[in-house]
Chain A
């Protein structure tokens, strides 16, 4: 229906189109490598994930503990590596514990999106017919609805618990995932190996799981990582607006919210570190996720899907 808009909606990374030089058929085929930079970025994501999981075991002060012995809005130093916030809490500890929210919502939301969007997409793209028409139209309809407004609205009426935020964001990311996986399924559903499997009498379930799904994996992995990044942005935006996981639970978004709120205070009242550190953490995670997704996409040769 809206075919020309789709090259953009295919990829949550705006304008991420494969450049002509990427798939140059005439040039000498360079050996495919992920490169050192990819591994540095992947290592950083792994490190953040490990820290998030094992934050309890690290020798850190309680992130919610208001230590009146520590200075208010203290500068970074040996006692408090990244300083303290306006409520005398340790910024370093809050930053490490805060990564949990981003990662849980990012990966959890993507997983929910993949289940709610991906499974119907495979069936829809494989079986076609009336169900496909209906689901495709429905996915357009939900896509037309602005996700942030929806999540703000539902959250403010339903509540801001972590699982609710994850569920709602996952739900609203599913139509985009549906479109990507459906388009990808379509390209494989009519291929010879699927015909062969059908001729051998394989069941639909077997064809979907054994023949089509493995071919979808590159798409799922590279677009899945982009989905993780965009969901983290969405949650961060919500948290910045004060509409995600409520305080005192730390998240990078609500730390930025606190830091930004202090900026309107007079001299000596504001705390630059409470802006700089969560912003840097957020940037590093999003940047490395984008790099890993981008490199994987060209490594796995996932060309832009035509919906």
Chain B
């Protein structure tokens, strides 16, 4: 167990190191002289000197990396050349939106997928199971960038049930109006997750319910409800937990889409406006932070997972 965790931590550090190297080298993918391209119309000798110092572009490559990573560890990810805001402050004001979206949508997804899967797995291949299975299969072909605009069209533009684009209210300016603006994007995100959780849980439950210990529980005369919640769901929860970690990458893609769609100033919205303004240092900073965050979340789920089911560590 300890050995397993140590191995995972080493792998984690190696991955984060490579992520940082990759993020560092992004600047060198720019055509021509990076400093000139990054600065664009702001290419004054003074700015160039600041940028060259920031990126260490005048030094050998390896040294450049260590200068840059040194700045990163000091919380210095450079600054925007259009607004002069630091990348760190851009990230710290926008990431709560992403976190809220993800947490909110996942709560919704679990609340819907769990009862659906339980109902479907009680009678496999009967009407409810077949209907929900077909619906889930269809939903696989409706990623957020397809279903999102359709939902906005129907629920915000036509029916005015939810606020439309560019009406985001920060949580500090009213809790309920914030929740109101969060509902539509969260539903869009939740739809994709419901499919994943439902399909996994249903298949898992069906095979669990055929096992001997369930027959045993039944013959003891336990109620269906008790068998489901106390006996069948417990092993399946492990699979579910694992998939929650794996889907974080897909979820981030989804949050970027809904943020652009509804003009919510989260990380996705920020990175896209920075790209459109050629604000390369901000892009680089956000990429680094988001990538490291995803890697860490994956690691955390992996870790929880080992605690829940220690058999994994033994393999």
Contact = CB atoms under 8 A, between A and B. Distances in A.
Instruction: Report whether chain A binds chain B.
Output: yes
Interface stretch (A52-60, A156-164, A191-199): A156-164
A259 B125 CA distance: 39
Nearest to B308: A4
A20 B27 contact: no
B247 A14 contact: yes
Contacts of B302: 2, 5
A256 B309 contact: no
B195 A15 contact: yes
A72 interface: no
B127 interface: no
Interface in A6-45: 7-9, 13-17, 19-21
B280 to A, nearest CB: 7
Given A233-B143, A241-B257, A264-B164, A149 B199 contact: no
Interface string A140-175: 110011111110111011110000000000000000
Interface string B126-151: 00000000000110111111111110
A147 to B, nearest CB: 7
Nearest to A287: B141
Chain B interface, >50% SS class: helix
B200 A8 contact: yes
B275 interface: yes
Chain A interface, >50% SS class: helix
Nearest to B143: A233
A260 B275 contact: no
B153 interface: yes
Contacts of A49: none
A117 interface: no
Contacts, number: 191
A270 interface: yes
A21 B149 contact: no
A16 B199 contact: yes
B242 interface: yes
A105 to B, nearest CB: 14
A95 B246 CA distance: 33
B68 interface: no
A237 interface: yes
A276 B245 CA distance: 33
A239 B83 CA distance: 26
Given A141-B18, A153-B26, A283-B141, A14 B272 contact: no
Query: Would you list the 6 A-B pairs with minimal beta carbon distance, nearest first?
Result: A15-B199, A286-B141, A264-B165, A287-B141, A240-B145, A14-B196
Interface of A: 1-5, 7-9, 13-17, 19-21, 137, 140-141, 144-150, 152-154, 156-159, 229, 233-234, 236-237, 240-243, 253, 256, 259-260, 263-264, 270, 272, 275-276, 279, 282-283, 286-287, 290-291, 294
